[in-house]
Amino acid sequence: MSTTRSNANLNANLEEKIRFRAYELYRHRGGEPGRALDDWLQAEAELLRSRLGATPLSDAPAKRVRTKRNGK
């Protein structure tokens, strides 16, 4: 198998896992529409961290940390 084909398969597999995790996040918060990008980015970050061995995935969504900006 060529390196290009192997990379394409890895990328497709990662994308499918991100899609599935984003859907889990969507369902966990009650299917509220309008936050698809937030769900996708959170799922992507979780999966990439887990691939690097930094944080194991759990069944519950990761907690989002909100910070105050400019005194707001």
Q: How many residues belong to the chain?
A: 72
pTM for the model: 0.64
What one-character DSSP code corresponds to residue 57? -
Which whole-number Å values give the CA distances from 54 to 38, 48, 50, in the listed order? Answer: 21, 9, 6
Task: For residue 61, give the nearest of 47, 44, 42, 48 by alpha carbon.
Answer: 42
- Report the alpha-carbon distance of residue 29 to residue 23 in Å, rounded: 10
Residue 61: the pLDDT is 58
What DSSP string describes 47-69?
A: HHHHHTTSS---SSPPPPPP---
Question: Which residues in the chain show pLDDT less than 70?
Answer: 1, 54-72
